[in-house]
Amino acid sequence: MGDLKDFLNPKSMVTPGIAGSITMLIANTLWAQFELPQRWTALVASFLLGLIPFAVDLPIWERVLYWIVNSLIIFSVGIGTNAVGHGVTTGTAVTGPTSLLFPMASMAFAQEKTTTKPAQEAASPQEVQRLKEQLERQRNEIQTKDEKIQELTRQQKIPPQPAQGTSRRFFDRWF
């Protein structure tokens, strides 16, 4: 069993792996809360977390080499972790440049159950017309309600609320 000093060794790859996940966590949190750009925040965080070699007694050129290499590995792991998290939360496959990080990973997606009506049960033209009229009435009702809300907002000077669906997701693509 390894010692804690072996885990914090600048030559160890476990430290950059865990630090990459921490980098992703930091970058996504700062983006979600303060809208800081994720990729640049992750790069800065990875170089800060990569400073571990400077705590070890090594020649300066070796410290700098470990710092740069480990920081880039930390950043790469952070990108990969974010891409996987984005794919899991949105149900999309890991594609593009990040798919090279996971060549052996396969994705499985559940298929929606589809049922089709036989030709005899297809809607009649009258039924289609009735449904179109019902849809138009509902659109008019929604538009009327929206106009009333806007009028009340102007009268009470309430700031308009952001549209639904514009919220940021924790696992948003960095690139």
Burial of 58 (0-12, 13-18, 19+ CB in 10 A): middle
- Tens of pLDDT, residue by residue over 26-48, are 998 898 888 888 889 999 998 88
pLDDT at 136: 93
Burial of 120 (0-12, 13-18, 19+ CB in 10 A): exposed
Q: Which conformational region is residue 35 in: left (phi greater than 0), alpha (psi within -120 to 50 degrees), or beta?
A: left
Q: How far apart are alpha carbons 131 and 117 in whole angstroms?
A: 17
Q: Which tokens belong to 74?
A: 């930390």
For residue 75, the SS3 value is: helix
Cβ neighbours of residue 171 closer than 8 Å, sequence gap 6 or more: 28, 82, 85, 86, 88, 89, 90
- Tens of pLDDT, residue by residue over 39-90, are 899 999 988 888 877 777 888 898 888 888 888 888 988 888 888 887 777 7
